[in-house]
Copies of this chain bind each other. A is one copy, B any other.
Amino acid sequence: MPADEKPTASVWTRPSRPQREQLTREQIVTAAIDLLDKEGTEALSMRKLGSRLDAGATSLYRHVANRDELIQLVVDDVYGEIELPATAGRPGWRAAVTGIAADLRAMTLRHPWIAPELGQVGLVHIGPNAMRMTSGLFAQFDAAGFPPGERERAAGTVTAYVIGIATSEAAYLSLIARSGKTEREWVASLRPAFDEASQHDPRLREADSAQPDVHPRETRDADFSYGLERVLDGLSARLDH
């Protein structure tokens, strides 16, 4: 075989038949979420994502303007995971809001990489799924009896609380994930460092009353519920004039 001929000229070595395969934006987004879930934020590079899809890095740019836009799409797609109660009835609003809040938190913990992105992308001009959730929350507070001007503030209060606490948890969990330990091993391993730090501040020492026999996850769940209950208490107190 003479080497000066183009090596792909032969019929046999020609790339297998279709080879066109039509990349779609949806494929790209779901592949990106998969990659993020498995390897974390900084592992998402256009090259790596491309090779996951058997495509070159720059091929993605036909369907996505740039990396930032990809991330916006990914974030909104993930918002599609939270499900909204079908109806909004007067008495059930508190349970419904609690459910949405739990879903929002669970979504954040399923995809901890979303926390830093939320800080960048914000919730300002985000896609249809995020708007759907916002609108669903509005519906509940509407049914609860909040006047039109106050509904958005009430909804904003609970989303702020949920996002805030879930962000902390997500950062903490992805830190643990990077370390390769389990959550229990992790808290046990930095116990001495914490003890030393709290030696100068008795208030912090008392604060560390975590019983070693309950799973940290249960503590986190209970903390979340506690705060959410307080927020909802404060909001429903507003309703009873």
Which A residues are closer than 8 A to B by beta carbons? Answer: 41, 115-125, 131, 134-135, 138-139, 142, 148-154, 156-157, 159-165, 167-168, 170-172, 174-175, 190, 193, 197, 201, 203-204, 206-207, 209, 223, 226-227, 229-235, 237-238
Contacts of A154 in B (CB 8 A): 230
Whether A207 and B152, one on each chain, are in contact in the complex, defined by CB atoms closer than 8 angstroms, is: yes
Q: How far is B237's CA from A152's CA once the two chains are assembled, in angstroms?
A: 23
With A122-B167, A124-B171 known, 4 other A-B pairs at CB within 8 A are: A138-B203, A153-B227, A157-B227, A232-B234
28 contacts between A and B (CB under 8 A): A116-B116, A118-B119, A119-B167, A119-B171, A120-B174, A122-B167, A122-B172, A124-B168, A124-B171, A131-B197, A131-B201, A135-B201, A138-B204, A139-B203, A150-B226, A152-B207, A153-B227, A159-B164, A160-B164, A160-B165, A161-B161, A161-B164, A229-B234, A230-B231, A231-B231, A232-B234, A233-B237, A233-B238
Q: How far is B37's CA from A80's CA once the two chains are assembled, in angstroms?
A: 34
Contact A118-B204, Cβ < 8 Å, known A231-B157, A235-B230, A237-B237: no
Contact partner of A162 (CB less than 8 A), chosen from B125, B164, B206, B233, is B164
Q: How far is B120's CA from A172's CA once the two chains are assembled, in angstroms?
A: 8
Contact A209-B149, Cβ < 8 Å, known A135-B201, A234-B234: yes
Q: How far is B122's CA from A201's CA once the two chains are assembled, in angstroms?
A: 21
Q: How far is B46's CA from A148's CA once the two chains are assembled, in angstroms?
A: 49
Each complex incorporates copies of this chain amounting to 2
Contacts of A238 in B (CB 8 A): 230, 233
Contact partner of A207 (CB less than 8 A), chosen from B115, B151, B167, B206, is B151
Contact A167-B164, Cβ < 8 Å, known A142-B203, A234-B235: yes
Contact partner of A124 (CB less than 8 A), chosen from B164, B172, B203, is B172
Contacts of A119 in B (CB 8 A): 115-119, 167, 170-171
Q: Which 7 A-B residue pairs are closest in the complex by CB-CB distance?
A: A164-B164, A122-B171, A234-B234, A115-B119, A157-B227, A160-B164, A116-B119
